Structure 1
Amino acid sequence: MSFLGQRSSRKLFIAAVSALTILIAGCGSSSTGDSSSNASSSGSGAGGAQVSAAKADMAAYAGKASAFPVGTPLTKRVPAGSTLAYLQCAAPTCALAGKAVAGAAQALGLNYHPVQSGSSSTDVTAAMNSIIALNPKIVIIPGLNPGPFCTQLKQLTSMGVGVGTFGVVGAQACGVEASMNGETSQKLGGRLMADWVVANKGAEAKVALYVSPELSFSANVQTGFTTQMKELCASCSVRIVKIPLASYASTAPSMMVSDLQRNADTNTMVFDNQEGAIGLPSALRTAGLSDRVKEIGWGPEPANLSDIKSGQITAGVGVDVPTMIWMAVDAAIRIATGQPLAGEETQGVPPTQVLQQSDITFDPTNGFAPYPDFAQRFIKLWGAP
């Protein structure tokens, strides 16, 4: 595929598209603050922390990425020359993700038709109406709030169009069956971070969970984390601390350091979106806090992966974004041709891994891509030349 042909192009694509979930911005508070809670389950093991259970739950995602998500070949393909429409939002990362969708369309012999959209709800709705007018066989939607165009999504699915989404929260309520990296995947990320905390800190865990409520996936990651912490540790404390999205790459690290200074017993930092931790290592060093805390976050970007590799950040839960995008295309084809979703498509969970320093054996500037042959794997399943 042309978008993977040159190393520099592939590197730019993966690094940029790894931030795609940031586009899923809903309405929420941008103020700082915190709330505290203690886990309430009975627990077991030393100090009430279920360390063995945490390690067992995390095992399938530790040391290597979870299995490639699809292994069932297509029994029927969408006719060559059919239209695959892509809702291309206004953000640059949508255009980069579109290159991945275009590569899949090319492999399938489909006519790739990106439909540009502005940033307002009115613009997105108009773009969706334009997509419906194309009479497509396949429609792919990136990480946008589906509320403004839920009616159009339901119309497309009622027409028998295969609709696939990635990073969209609430797609299933709009009739979309093929929702990749939606609620289930996001809650899994939170759950795995809780597993890691208990496995590493046991009942001594004193957690600050830094969240950005403006991001619509934040609530799912938070729910996955806090639910699992309550299940695994009766004595662990979890504080919820809001970090405004606008503070990323600017004041967020100093805000976190100030929070740690006010809460001297905190020994673990958890991030609903690890991008918020970019710049944190230097802030911790300056404050003399580097040795006091361990850190883990969902969706590490190349800068975070570099910090993990150098030992400046402890861990992250990586999601394979390139594979995720082609999963959405594969799932949409299966829906359009009356075939059941395959493998992890039924849950919408892309390859995922708990990443620690020893796991970063790849160039972190390329992003987390545990299956660099993902395109060839899908092409084989599709019976494409």
Structure 2
Amino acid sequence: MHTPTPTRMRAAAIVAAGALLLTACSSAGAPAETSAASEGTSEAVEAANAFLAPWTGGAKAGLLIDEPLSQPIAEGTRVVYLDVGTPVSAVMWENLQAPAELLGLKLERVQTGRDAQSINTAMNTVVELAPDGVINITLDPVFFESQIKQLDAAGIPIASGSVMNTTEFGLPEAFNGPDWMKLNGEALGAAAVARSGGATELVFYNVPEFPFSEYELAGAQERIAALSPEATVRIVDIPIAELGSTAADRIVSDLQANPDTGYFMASVDEVQIGLPQKLELAGIDVDGIAMWTAPPNYEQISTGQQDATLGVDLSLMMWTVLDQLLREINGQEYTWPDVETRAAALTQIIDSENVPADPVAGYRAIEGYQEQFAENWLVN
């Protein structure tokens, strides 16, 4: 999907015609404007690439908390995983299996659903299970505030990933909270500028039910405004219920209605699963980038159907969230590093040049991190 779009071809034809006309004319004003615009685009792309250095291999990755546990975790410790039912959530669950086996944990999976009633029912079940700890990925605590109080009273900690308001509900701060999401949103914005060659009509596909989506959007808008003030970012909401079903259709309809769009961004890469085929059928060639990559996204990149993704090492993420939970279970103090270190430690721009050979394993940020965790977890 890297052949010139009809829009880009029309733009190229206009530029070429303009160049011929300028050659035939004696006016000196227009060429200066054309040169200035070209220079501005080049500067924006150059600045975008410079900003992206930490997300293109320029950052040294390491464990976010690299110190031993205060004491070993007892075999048979029970941990509940809250599954919100998305494809990425299923990947997260699978990524918990290896560290759980290493530690001898007893993992239990509770399907939360997506509406308030089903979440409330699921969280009542969690309270009844009385586990030693809970892992929550993306579920907004506003939906289970009463159960948080019950779990806290029972001394059962909750560690979170991709949850933006943990501290508001007395929960430990997630390593990838609002600042982390916003900075990675800036990376999405910079990538849109760089990979589009400085396109000025962009769109962001937002999933409002995911609290982190608005932070990614804010970061993308802020970085694009700083890099390319003349660029516009259209915002299109995609309901969470459409992920895995009609999300791609909504994107196709939007791009058909806005044929001058130069590049798109999305808060979750699930919206791109199956999208290339539908874009091709519709005669649309617009590239894009998103975050929270699933295996099919890596497959699409490897076959040239998808331009890029902001890959997250989902395995390392789950080991990191579990590591936090273990420290909470032990009542052990810890400190996250600064947001710049955290933001690029688990994420990287992935395209056809560095796409993982194994789409299921996906992007891996640190070689041998399992052994490092095992040492910190006092596993013999």
**TM-score strictly above 0.5:** yes
Contact in 2 for aligned 1:71/1:381 (Cα 8 Å): no
Partner of 2:296: 303
Q: Is it true that 1:338 corresponds to 2:336 in the alignment?
A: no
Contact in 1 for aligned 2:134/2:159 (Cα 8 Å): yes
Code of the residue aligned with 2:374 in structure 1: it is: I
Code of the residue aligned with 2:363 in structure 1: it is: F
Give the alignment of 1:82-97 within 5 angstroms.
83-89=77-83, 91=85, 97=92
- Deviation string for 1:26-85 (max 9, x for gaps)? xxxxxxxxxxxxxxxxxxx72596434322221011147861333622151255347343
TM-score, structure 2 length as denominator? 0.75
Q: Is it true that 1:376 corresponds to 2:374 in the alignment?
A: no
SS at match of 2:284: coil
TM-score, structure 1 length as denominator? 0.74
Code of the residue aligned with 1:104 in structure 2: it is: P
Q: Is it true that 1:73 corresponds to 2:67 in the alignment?
A: yes
Distance 2:235 2:67 in 1: 44
Distance 1:276 1:288 in 2: 18
Code of the residue aligned with 2:301 in structure 1: it is: I
SS at match of 1:257: helix
Distance 1:161 1:169, change over 3 A: same
Distance 1:346 1:262, change over 3 A: closer
Distance 1:281 1:373, change over 3 A: same
Partner of 1:35: none
Code of the residue aligned with 1:54 in structure 2: it is: A
Partner of 1:325: 318
Partner of 1:13: none
Contact in 2 for aligned 1:269/1:296 (Cα 8 Å): yes
Deviation for aligned residue 1:347: 8.1
Distance 1:251 1:97, change over 3 A: closer
Code of the residue aligned with 2:377 in structure 1: it is: W
Contact in 1 for aligned 2:200/2:231 (Cα 8 Å): yes
- Deviation string for 1:177-224 (max 9, x for gaps)? 241443333323321111112223454331021223233332222122
| Larger RCO (CA under 8 A, 6+ residues apart) | 1
Distance 1:49 1:155, change over 3 A: farther
- Deviation string for 1:102-155 (max 9, x for gaps)? 54344345x525264553133133134225x45x3x432333221232344356
Distance 1:328 1:305, change over 3 A: same
Distance 1:345 1:333 in 2: 22
Distance 1:100 1:251 in 2: 27
Distance 1:65 1:158, change over 3 A: farther
Distance 1:55 1:347, change over 3 A: closer
Code of the residue aligned with 2:247 in structure 1: it is: A
The correspondence for 1:144, drawn from 118, 127, 139, is: 139
Distance 1:91 1:220 in 2: 22
Larger radius of gyration: 2
Q: Is it true that 1:114 corresponds to 2:108 in the alignment?
A: yes
Distance 1:115 1:228, change over 3 A: same
- Deviation string for 1:331-369 (max 9, x for gaps)? 223343423135479986561011111011422244334
SS at match of 2:353: helix
Give the alignment of 1:131-280 within 5 angstroms.
131=129, 133-134=130-131, 136=132, 138-153=133-148, 156=151, 162-201=157-196, 203-280=198-275
Distance 1:90 1:129, change over 3 A: same
SS at match of 1:150: helix
Distance 2:145 2:60 in 1: 32
* Structure 1: runs of 5+ lacking an equivalent: 1-44
Question: How many equivalent pairs are there?
Answer: 337
Partner of 1:26: none
Deviation for aligned residue 1:169: 3.5
* Structure 2: runs of 5+ lacking an equivalent: 1-38
Distance 1:202 1:108 in 2: 48
Distance 2:266 2:221 in 1: 12
Partner of 2:52: 58
Partner of 2:123: 125
Distance 2:350 2:112 in 1: 36
Distance 1:346 1:172 in 2: 20
Contact in 2 for aligned 1:78/1:333 (Cα 8 Å): no
Distance 2:251 2:93 in 1: 35
Partner of 2:309: 316
SS at match of 2:379: coil
| RMSD of Structure 2 on Structure 1 (CA) | 3.4
Deviation for aligned residue 1:161: 5.1
Distance 1:236 1:90, change over 3 A: closer
- Deviation string for 1:231-272 (max 9, x for gaps)? 222111111122344444544334333322322221112122
Determine what percentage of the aligned residue pairs are the same residue: 27
Distance 1:124 1:321 in 2: 24
Distance 1:207 1:88, change over 3 A: closer
Deviation for aligned residue 1:296: 1.1
